[in-house]
Amino acid sequence: MSKILEIFNTMEYGPAPEAPDAVKAWLDEHNRKFGLFINNEWVTPKGAKFYSSINPSNGELLAETTQAEKKDVDAAVAAARMAFKTWSKTPGVTRARYLYAIARNIQKHSRLLAVLESMDNGKPIRESRDIDVPLLARHFYYYAGWAQLMETELRDYQPVGVVGQIIPWNFPLLMLAWKIAPAIAMGNTVVLKPASYTRLTALLFAEIVAEAGLPAGVVNVITGSSSAGSMIVEHPDVDKIAFTGSTDVGRTLRKQTAGSGKKLSLELGGKSPFVVFDDADLDGAVEGVVDAIWFNQGQVCCAGSRLIVQENVAGKFIQKLKNRMQHMRVGDPLDKAIDMGAIVDQSQWDTIDGWVKTGIAEGGECFQPNIALPEKGLFYKPTLITGLDPAAATVQEEIFGPVLVSLTFRTPSEAIEIANNTRYGLAASVWSDNINLALDVASKIKAGSVWVNCTNQFDGAAGFGGYRESGYGREGGREGLFEYLRPIWMDRPRPEFVLDEKKKWGEHVPTLPTQPGVARANGHSLPLVDRTPKMYIGGKQVRPDGAYTTTVLNAKGKIVGQIGDGNRKDIRDAVEAAHKARTSGWAMRHGYNRSQILYFIAENLDARNAEFVKRIVEMTGRTQKSAGAEVDASVERLFTYAAWADKYGGTVQETTLRGITVAVNEPVGVIGIACPDENPLLGFVSLMAPAIARGNSVVMIPSQKYPLSATDFYQVLDTSDVPGGVVNIVTGDRDHLVKTLVQHEDVDSVWYFGSAEGSYHVENESAANMKRTWTGYGLPRDWMSREQGEGHEFLHEATQVKNIWVPTGE
């Protein structure tokens, strides 16, 4: 026995290299020079400039790739537009055949894809062969299934159109799969731009797609710099942008697309927590850390880069981790026996090294194992920095390299607080043998994916995406489909407005009082008893902070009332009240309870039916019949969301994990809602009800023109057991008030149904803190129709999907 151990301990490490020959042959076949892939053909533009694709592990030139210019982007978009005409009408079952053929072709060329991916990116062949490429095929199989089912399961939806897709360099093939598979499955066509550092596998993939027989123009791949990406974003004939990359570029894209009516999904950066409780299997958790932060050299958006260990086991855990790090092998990406390959590019290497130096300067203690690195190539040792302050930049900022920082905690609530102490919210990993504790913590961490006693799990059947500054939208799973769909009744919004550059958006001068007596007497011999509604904040009627009042006129210009003229302070108070309501339990109440309250609101609204009808007639000048229909529809809408309050909680995802993956439709948080002017009551109810049904608390800005139905609503809320702060109402100048909501750090989403120009400003301002927005672009919506005024679109906006992964078994 001791002999075997002896042999084992003294065994020499022998490399097991994968041969690059097939890749070299493929590159040579193309004379190591690539054009753009448009309409299933290689196109080399006249006078094209080229970019050198380099193998980061040895500096070898792999090939030259084209730098696309504006005319090339135009040609690719035109090809996609032309193909969209037939592809969008091609039956789903036929599209499914194509996706299936692509998946099969990926498997047939899997070795070539994996080796090229490792040579172009520097990632270990073990990862590209066993993770990236199998997941690439898996996504095409999974979405072939959704193409097959689209006409029966998604019959209320249509494709969005031509989609511009821009991806990063860390998982070139996987990112491409996340984007292209759902897009073409739903009948869209694509122009994809890979990152500059890693262009080659996207080009090989384009050939594989064409070989599978996909019609020309459905998938177009153009290479180029960030300016080519920008041209795709700005192209007027692109209907949606799907972007994965850094938060800073995401912010730029949000601004560029603001007010355009283009759909936008953003998968951005992260600084994900890896939480270890004292009862966890510490050895298992150490292996988890290795997978969390040193997978792909730490160049992973969801890398577990912030280790948070319970204080009483922290010393022991860190020692185990350091021991493990001494056994890591860094080297040639094509060696099947290495743990870490090369960093993608010298500039990224410099950024990582810069962060390590910053960590040391910030007082951290840096540990790097005593292991050998190859003499040539961009290699970096696995690195651990301990002893940092939680506010240190190294703890807060994404490093995107093999650098782990560690912190400690004492209690579960402290662990949650530290885990959430970040502007990001992409993923988290929780380790504990107490499943109740682990799931409770998982539910309280703000992140799109939470892995319990495991890490970095991905599958086509589960969505991936962020909270907060990690972006919005999901890729993967059924939830990922909605990024590539539009309700069947809705055309691509093409808002029209002229931006008044001189006017500062949202500026507001309080209105002056009307002439004495005019406001209230209105021809009566006795002045009416004054009934000027105040604000409704925290379940109480409060005076407007600015103590200004504004007058409400009816359709004929006659005064029908006065309301408080809200300001920033009123909004801030309302947001604070909304937060209190959330944290004191509205989101945690069960759906049954929320549905009971919605039914109660409906009951109380119906009891005052005549009063609300009268108010609508008085304000809008519409007929009694039309106003009556609006009140009836409002009652019915409340019933709809009472119904949805306990039927939209989530689902069990059928992933490849041995265990369970649960998709939870969590509330978004605090939502600021600016209501439309048409249908002053129904518009208000149609937006408030889905939000609160799904556990959000709201700050409502009623119709600016006809606000009195909303202020009458206070009394309905007061008598319906709605906890104070769940619904807050601030009246006044819509754009002035909504501006404060968009800029507020504690508002999670803003819905805006005002003008086209206002929609632009809401989207543009939201870039500052990457707030989720939903705008109407000033276009008409028929609130009376069930198709346009209620349903899935509203529930989708009122929720965000969190996928919790829990392996099972011994």
Which residue do the tokens 């408080």 mark?
Answer: 564
Q: Which one of the listed residues 117, 267, 483, 630 is annotated catalytic?
A: 267
Long-range CB contacts for residues 781-788, cutoff 8 Å, separation at least 24: 781/676, 781/678, 781/753, 783/633, 783/676, 783/678, 783/679, 783/682, 783/683, 783/686, 784/629, 784/630, 784/633, 784/679, 784/682, 786/640, 787/156, 787/487, 787/489, 788/487, 788/489, 788/490
Q: Which stretch binds ligand NAP (CB under 6 A): 95-103, 228-236, 632-640, 651-659?
A: 228-236
The reply on whether position 268 binds ligand NAP by CB under 6 A is yes
Select the residue interacting with ligand NAP from 195, 334, 657, 673 (CB under 6 A): 195
**Distances from the Cα of 551 to the Cαs of 353, 684, 754, in angstroms?**
62, 20, 19
Cβ nearer to ligand NAP, comparing 296 with 711: 296
Distance in Å, CB of 196 to ligand NAP, minimum? 3
* Distance from C-alpha of 782 to C-alpha of 633, rounded to nearest angstrom: 12
Query: In the complex, which residue's CB is closest to ligand NAP?
Result: 229
What ranges in 645-720 are assigned the alpha helix state H? 680-693, 708-718
Q: Of the candidates 267, 459, 479, 618, which one interacts with ligand NAP according to CB under 6 A?
A: 267
Beta-strand pair 157-159/427-431: unpaired
651 forms part of the interface with ligand NAP (CB under 6 A): no
479 touching ligand NAP, by CB under 6 A: no
- Token pair recorded at residue 711: 């202020």
Residue appearing with tokens 């909270």 = 467
- Considering only residues 65, 105, 118, 244, which one is a binding residue for ligand NAP as defined by CB under 6 A? 244
Annotated catalytic, 301? yes
**Smallest distance from the beta carbon of 208 to ligand NAP, in angstroms?**
20
Point out which span in 108-116, 262-270, 371-379, 546-554 binds ligand NAP (CB under 6 A). 262-270
State the Cα–Cα distance between residues 190 and 164, nearest whole angstrom: 6
Which residue among 168, 402, 533, 566 contacts ligand NAP (CB under 6 A)?
A: 168
Q: Which position among 20, 269, 493, 683 is part of the footprint of ligand NAP (CB under 6 A)?
A: 269
Contact 309, 276 (CB under 8 A): yes
166: contact with ligand NAP by CB under 6 A: yes
Distance CA 430, CA 276 (A): 6
Beta bridge partners of 243: 166, 266
> Which residues, 280 to 309, sit near ligand NAP by CB under 6 A?
301
* Pairs from 512-520 (Cβ < 8 Å, separation ≥ 24): 513/549, 514/551, 514/559, 518/559, 519/551, 519/559, 519/562
**Of 301, 302, 454, 675, which is the active-site residue?**
301
Q: How many CA atoms within 13 Å lie on the side-chain side of 605?
A: 29
For ligand NAP, the closer CB: 449 or 696? 449
Is residue 367 within 8 A of residue 386, CB to CB? The reply is: yes
Does residue 230 touch ligand NAP according to CB under 6 A?
yes
Report the C-alpha gap between 549 and 105 in whole angstroms. Answer: 68
The yes or no reply on residue 261 touching ligand NAP (CB under 6 A) is no
226 binds ligand NAP, rule: CB under 6 A:
yes
771 vs 766: CA distance, rounded Å: 5
Q: Does 99 bind ligand NAP (CB under 6 A)?
A: no
Nearer to ligand NAP, 268 or 708 (CB): 268
Residue 99 and residue 184 in contact, taking contact as beta carbons nearer than 8 Å: yes
Q: Which of residues 586-605 bind ligand NAP (CB under 6 A)?
A: none
Q: In terms of CB distance, is 474 or 781 closer to ligand NAP?
A: 474
Q: Which is nearer to ligand NAP, 309 or 461 (CB)?
A: 461
Q: Using CB under 6 A as the criterion, what x/- string covers residues 437-476 for binding ligand NAP?
A: ---------------------------x-x---xx-----
The values of phi and psi at residue 659, to 5°, are: 150, -155
351 contacts ligand NAP (rule: CB under 6 A): no
Q: Is residue 170 close enough to count as binding ligand NAP by CB under 6 A? A: yes
Give the span between the Cα atoms of 551 and 797, in whole angstroms: 33
What part of residues 10-69 is at the interface with ligand NAP (CB under 6 A)? none
Q: Judged by CB under 6 A, does residue 331 bind ligand NAP?
A: no
Binds ligand NAP (CB under 6 A): choice among 400, 451, 484, 648:
400
d(CA 478, CA 464): 11
Strands 49-54 and 219-221: unpaired
The one segment of 166-174, 538-546, 583-591, 708-716 that binds ligand NAP by CB under 6 A: 166-174
User: Is 618 an interacting residue with respect to ligand NAP (CB under 6 A)?
Assistant: no
Bridge partners, residue 671, by sequence: 698, 749
Based on the shown chain and the rule CB under 6 A, indicate whether residue 196 belongs to the binding site for ligand NAP.
yes
Cβ proximity to ligand NAP: between 196 and 432 the closer is 196
Span from 99-107, 193-201, 287-295, 560-568 in contact with ligand NAP (CB under 6 A)? 193-201
Smallest gap, in angstroms, from Cβ of residue 124 to ligand NAP? 17
**Which residue in the set 58, 252, 715, 719 belongs to the binding site for ligand NAP (CB under 6 A)?**
252
SS3 477: coil
Cβ-based nearer residue to ligand NAP, 37 or 464: 464
DSSP letter for each residue of 707-729: THHHHHHHHHHHTTTPPTTSEEE
Is 267 part of the annotated catalytic residue set? Answer: yes
Q: In whole angstroms, how close is the CB of 616 to ligand NAP at the nearest point?
A: 45
> Using CA atoms in the order 68, 73, 79, 85, what is the torsion angle rounded to 10 degrees?
150
Question: At its nearest, how many Å lie between ligand NAP and the CB of residue 400?
Answer: 5
Cα-Cα-Cα-Cα dihedral sign, residues 605, 608, 609, 614: negative
Q: Contact residues for ligand NAP (CB under 6 A)? A: 166-170, 193, 195-196, 225-226, 229-230, 233, 244-246, 249, 252, 267-270, 301, 398, 400, 426, 464, 466, 470-471
List residues with catalytic annotation: 267, 301
